[in-house]
Chains A and B, each alone.
Chain A
C-alpha cells in the first residue's frame, strides 16, 4: 500500500511530470509563468481542482462507466466511450460549484485565485489526469492521490519555470531570442533536465 502510494506520487511529480514529460497543460504553463506571483495562484487553483476532480470522476467512473461497474452489469452494455463527455461535464460543473461556495465562504481565497479558477475548467491537465486514471483502472483512493500528486508536479514545473523567466527578464538576451522564444528554449532544457528522473519508477 505505502509502496504503491510512493510509486504513484514520485512517478507523477518527477518521472511522468504532466508538463515536462506528458505535455499536458502547456497553455497555463506558458501563459501564467511570467510572474512568480500569478504562478503561485495558478498552482494553488490547479492542486485544489485536480484533487477534487479526480476524486469525483473516478467515483463516477467506478459506479457507472467502467466495464465492471454495477450499472454495466445491470444493462449488459459498455459505456467507456462516454468518459470524455462525462468527465468534461463533471469537471466544469464542479469548478462552478466550488467557485460559488468559495466566493461565499472564503472570499480571500476566491480573490487570490481570481480568474484562474474558472480557467481551469478547460485545462487539459485536469481532464488528462481523470482519463489516465480511467485507463490505468485505479481505485478511487489511488486516483485521488494520483490527481493530487500530478497537480503538485504541474505546480513544481510551473513555479520553476516562472522563477527562471523572472530571472530572464534581467538577463542580456540576443534580440532574436527575446520574449517567447527564450521561454520555449528554457522549457525545452527544463524538460531535458527532468528526463534525468526517467527510470526512477517503472
Chain B
C-alpha cells in the first residue's frame, strides 16, 4: 500500500512540476534567432577577437543583426565566408586571406650585438632596457613576445629572429599589437615578396649594424617597376596593394639579400634552393 502511495505522490509532484515547466517554457519563450546558431557553427570558433567583438558568438550575433560584415572575421576561409554570406542572404566579394610577416632579417647570425641582455625574456622589457642586445634600433628583438600571443603557434624564433609560418597563420593580428617595434604587418597572402628590413637609418649606418639591411639601392624597384615596389626614405617597401611577382627576389639580385619571400615558400639565404624550386 505504502509503495503505491509513494509512487502516486512522486508521480503527482513530477507531473505538476513537468506541466508547470512546460507551460512556463511556452509562455515565457524567448525567441532566439536560428540564424545566429547557424553562423556560429560555421565560424572558426577560435575566439581570437580578431573581428573586434567579444568572441565568435558575439560576432555571429552582430552579423545577423547587420552590425558586422562577413569580412570582419580574419580567420575564416573564403569558402566559409561564402557559406556565411549564403545564410545571411548576401553576396561576398572575393576575399584574399591575410597573413602576418615579420619585416626584419636580423637573426643572430647577421645582426651585430653591442651588449648581452640578461633581463626578463620579453620583447617589451628588452625594448625599454637599452633596446636589448642587438645594435639595430629597429630590428627584431627575438624574445618571442609575438610567438607567445599567437593562438595557433604560427611564429617560430629562428636564431633570434621571429619568423611567421604563413601557411599556419590565421591573420588575427595579435602579434602585430604585441611587437614593441612594429615589425609585424598583415599582408595579403598572394603577395609573397617582402623587404625584410624596417630600419629608417641611412644605408651606410645600417650596413655597420647588420649584414642584411635594405640599403635603398633601388635595384628591385627598377626591375619590378615603380608601383610594385615603393621607396620610403632610405628603405624600399613592397606595395601590398599591387605586389610584384613571386620570383622578383631572383630577378632583382638584391645586393644585401634583404628582399625575399615569406616563410614556407623560402626563407631568404637559409634556403635559396627552395625559392628556385617554388618559382620553377
Q: Which residues of A contact B (CB under 8 A)?
A: 60, 64-65, 71, 75, 77, 79, 82, 85-86, 89-90, 93-94, 96-97, 100-101, 103-105, 107
Interface: B13 (CB within 8 A): yes
Mark each residue of chain B from 25 to 37: 1 if its CB lies under 8 Å from any CB of chain A, else 0. Answer: 1001110000000
In addition to A77-B5, A93-B18, 8 A-B residue pairs with Cβ atoms within 8 Å of each other are A64-B9, A86-B10, A89-B17, A97-B24, A100-B25, A101-B24, A104-B29, A104-B30
Residues in chain B near residue A65, CB distance under 8 A: 9
* CB-based A-B contact count at 8 angstroms: 48
Residues in chain B near residue A93, CB distance under 8 A: 17-18, 20-21
Instruction: Please report the C-alpha to C-alpha distance between residue A79 and residue B29 in the assembled complex, in whole angstroms.
Output: 36
Interface: B245 (CB within 8 A): no
Interface: B1 (CB within 8 A): yes
Residues in chain B near residue A97, CB distance under 8 A: 20-21, 24
Residues in chain B near residue A64, CB distance under 8 A: 9
Interface: B120 (CB within 8 A): no
Residues in chain A near residue B24, CB distance under 8 A: 97, 100-101
Whether the Cβ atoms of B1 and A89 lie closer than 8 Å is no
Whether the Cβ atoms of B2 and A105 lie closer than 8 Å is no
Residues in chain A near residue B6, CB distance under 8 A: 79, 82
Interface: B14 (CB within 8 A): yes
Instruction: Please report the C-alpha to C-alpha distance between residue A90 and residue B9 in the assembled complex, in whole angstroms.
Output: 12
Residue of B nearest to A71 (CB): B9
User: Which positions 140-193 of chain B face chain A at CB distance < 8 Å?
Assistant: none
Mark each residue of chain B from 211 to 245: 1 if its CB lies under 8 Å from any CB of chain A, else 0. Answer: 00000000000000000000000000000000000
Whether the Cβ atoms of B9 and A82 lie closer than 8 Å is yes
Instruction: Please report the C-alpha to C-alpha distance between residue A89 and residue B9 in the assembled complex, in whole angstroms.
Output: 12
Partner of A90, one of B1, B13, B25: B13
Instruction: Please report the C-alpha to C-alpha distance between residue A60 and residue B9 in the assembled complex, in whole angstroms.
Output: 11
Residue of A nearest to B16 (CB): A93
- B115 CB to closest chain A CB, in angstroms? 32
Residues in chain B near residue A104, CB distance under 8 A: 28-30
Grouping DSSP codes into helix (H, G, I), strand (E, B) and loop, the A interface class, with mixed when no group exceeds half, is helix
Whether the Cβ atoms of B10 and A77 lie closer than 8 Å is no
Residues in chain A near residue B2, CB distance under 8 A: 77, 79
Grouping DSSP codes into helix (H, G, I), strand (E, B) and loop, the B interface class, with mixed when no group exceeds half, is helix
13 contacts between A and B (CB under 8 A): A60-B13, A75-B1, A77-B1, A79-B5, A79-B6, A79-B9, A82-B6, A90-B13, A104-B28, A104-B29, A104-B30, A105-B28, A107-B30
- B195 CB to closest chain A CB, in angstroms? 46
Whether the Cβ atoms of A86 and B1 lie closer than 8 Å is no
Whether the Cβ atoms of A101 and B5 lie closer than 8 Å is no
Residue of B nearest to A102 (CB): B28
Whether the Cβ atoms of A82 and B10 lie closer than 8 Å is yes
Residues in chain B near residue A105, CB distance under 8 A: 28
- B7 CB to closest chain A CB, in angstroms? 10
Whether the Cβ atoms of A103 and B17 lie closer than 8 Å is no
Residue of B nearest to A103 (CB): B30
Whether the Cβ atoms of A90 and B17 lie closer than 8 Å is yes
Instruction: Please report the C-alpha to C-alpha distance between residue A86 and residue B25 in the assembled complex, in whole angstroms.
Output: 22
Whether the Cβ atoms of B10 and A85 lie closer than 8 Å is yes
Residue of A nearest to B2 (CB): A77
- B19 CB to closest chain A CB, in angstroms? 10
Instruction: Please report the C-alpha to C-alpha distance between residue A75 and residue B6 in the assembled complex, in whole angstroms.
Output: 11
Whether the Cβ atoms of B28 and A103 lie closer than 8 Å is yes
- A49 CB to closest chain B CB, in angstroms? 15
Instruction: Please report the C-alpha to C-alpha distance between residue A146 and residue B116 in the assembled complex, in whole angstroms.
Output: 68
Which residue, of B18, B21, B29, has the highest number of chain A Cβ atoms within 10 A?
A: B21
Instruction: Please report the C-alpha to C-alpha distance between residue A100 and residue B23 in the assembled complex, in whole angstroms.
Output: 10
Residue of A nearest to B1 (CB): A77
Which residue, of A85, A89, A97, has the highest number of chain B Cβ atoms within 10 A?
A: A97
Whether the Cβ atoms of A89 and B29 lie closer than 8 Å is no
Residues in chain A near residue B9, CB distance under 8 A: 64-65, 71, 79, 82, 86
Instruction: Please report the C-alpha to C-alpha distance between residue A75 and residue B29 in the assembled complex, in whole angstroms.
Output: 40
The 10 closest A-B pairs by CB, nearest first: A93-B17, A104-B28, A100-B24, A77-B2, A97-B24, A100-B28, A101-B28, A103-B30, A96-B21, A100-B25
Residue of B nearest to A94 (CB): B17
